[in-house]
Amino acid sequence: MSLLGRSMRFGYIPNAFRRIAALVCVCVLPTGAVMAASQIDTFSFTDEVQERRYRALIEEFRCPKCLNTNLAGSDAPIAQDLRKVVYRLVVTQGMSDQEVRYYLQARYGDFVLYDPPFNAKTWYIWLVPIALGVLALFVLLRLVRGARSSATVLNAQQQERLQEIVGNTAGSSDR
Amino acid sequence: MSRISLYIPLGVFAAILGLGYVGFDLGARNELPSALINKPFPEFQARLLDSPETTLTREDLLGRPTLINVWATWCPTCLSEHEQLMQIAASTDVVIVGVNYKDQPNKAKQWLAQYGNPYRWVLDDRDGLLGIEMGVYGAPETFLLDAQGDVIYKRVGDINPRIWRDELAPRFRQLGIAMAMGNTDVGANK
């Protein structure tokens, strides 16, 4: 309801304002994005697909030194080096995304993958949340069932009162 | 609900506390396990620091156990572990290979002249590419290789007397590296 109202209200904004707003969006937002992206590297790409793949990959890997930052977001020397490596693998050596993943994983272990594989060392990362979810569901079910059964227990006096209240309508719906 | 099940939340709470207590107490949680443990040391080709026309490859490390130490002059911890490496070099017959990581060769040579050189060879890895092959993410890092060239141990951080006594010396013994008689505690009382 309020969403609809708001979008309708946009209809009343004078054209000039809308144009200015559009202009601001067109001019400011892309520069912001470009600034954020070009903050750290000076690599040149001839191929747009390669550039997109490079950016996606450095977003994907974890910096080994800084633990909770990805390669794209870290200024650590090792992250700079690894960005160079990713660039080289993608652009110069023409590796596929999966090959780049294997390359880094072989040297820095599962740690560099934010999306860890399921294996003997990592099974609990994957299974604990599922187990907790099942447990939560179980507890919830029991709570709901408990609430339902306790809610229906009325003593004789309450039963009488209930009959009193619903007595009139109960007669009409009784077939 | 029965009486006992009332205590379940308390139990869960205690379990979470326990997990945190153990988890945050693990000293090594910032340390990456090496992806190379029990795997062959990577193939490489690197120039020697003091004679750039000579290159060393993985084949040169085979045949006897090798200790590979990644260091740099910009790394203060490398200086603090240097004495321990000097002692290991003097009292055992392990081959120690230095990897001069992302450093300036001139500074590195001066550093070795000043503090002593425990290395049989020092590899010039000024661009850090060998380091990446080895999965190095800082200095110092130290790798122990057996005679087949497999990595059997990696230390991220300094080689101090405790690491020598608890981690390295037992493995040296296992590998059959000769150590100075009755002096297996090299530097332990320093």
Domain shared by B20 and B72, yes or no: no
Domain shared by B93 and B8, yes or no: no
Domain shared by B127 and B166, yes or no: yes
Residue B180 lies in a domain: no
Which A residues, 41 through 80, put their C-beta within 8 Å of a C-beta on chain B?
Answer: 64-65, 67, 77-78
Is residue B160 a contact partner of residue B87, using CB atoms and an 8 Å limit? Answer: no
Contact B35 A81 (CB under 8 A): no
Domain shared by B123 and B167, yes or no: yes
Number of domains forming the structure of chain B: 2
Residue B77 lies in a domain: yes
Domain shared by B4 and B42, yes or no: no
What residue numbers bound the domain in which B24 lies? 1-30
Query: What residues are paired with B97 via a beta bridge?
Result: B68, B121
Nearest chain A residue to B9 by CA: give it.
A139
In this predicted structure, what is the pLDDT of residue B131? Answer: 94
Residue B181 lies in a domain: no
Residue B163 lies in a domain: yes
The whole-angstrom separation of Cα B140 and Cα B158 is 6
CB < 8 Å to A109, chain B: 32-35, 135
Domain shared by B89 and B161, yes or no: yes
Residue B185 lies in a domain: no
The one-digit pLDDT tens for each residue of chain A (175 residues) are 444 444 444 445 456 555 555 555 554 554 444 444 444 567 888 888 999 999 999 999 988 887 788 999 888 889 999 999 999 999 999 999 999 999 999 999 888 888 777 888 778 888 999 999 999 999 999 998 887 776 667 788 888 888 888 876 655 554 4
Contact A146 B32 (CB under 8 A): no
In this predicted structure, what is the pLDDT of residue A6? Answer: 43
B140 preceded by a cis bond (ω within 30 of 0): yes
Mean pLDDT, all residues of chain B: 89
Using the predicted structure, report yes or no on whether residue B82 has a pLDDT greater than 80.
yes
Confidence of residue B154 (pLDDT cuts 50, 70, 90): very high
Confidence of residue B58 (pLDDT cuts 50, 70, 90): very high
> Cβ atoms within 10 A of the Cβ of A63, count?
24
Q: In terms of pLDDT, which residue wins out, B33 or A47?
A: A47
Question: In this structure, what CATH number is given to the domain that contains residue B158?
Answer: 3.40.30.10
Range B88-106 average pLDDT? 95
Chain A: nearest CA to B144, how far in angstroms? 16
Domain shared by B75 and B99, yes or no: yes
Residue B49 lies in a domain: yes
Residue B79 lies in a domain: yes
Domain shared by B20 and B43, yes or no: no
Nearest chain A residue to B130 by CA: give it.
A107
Domain shared by B168 and B132, yes or no: yes
Residue B96 lies in a domain: yes
Residue B16's SS3 state is: helix
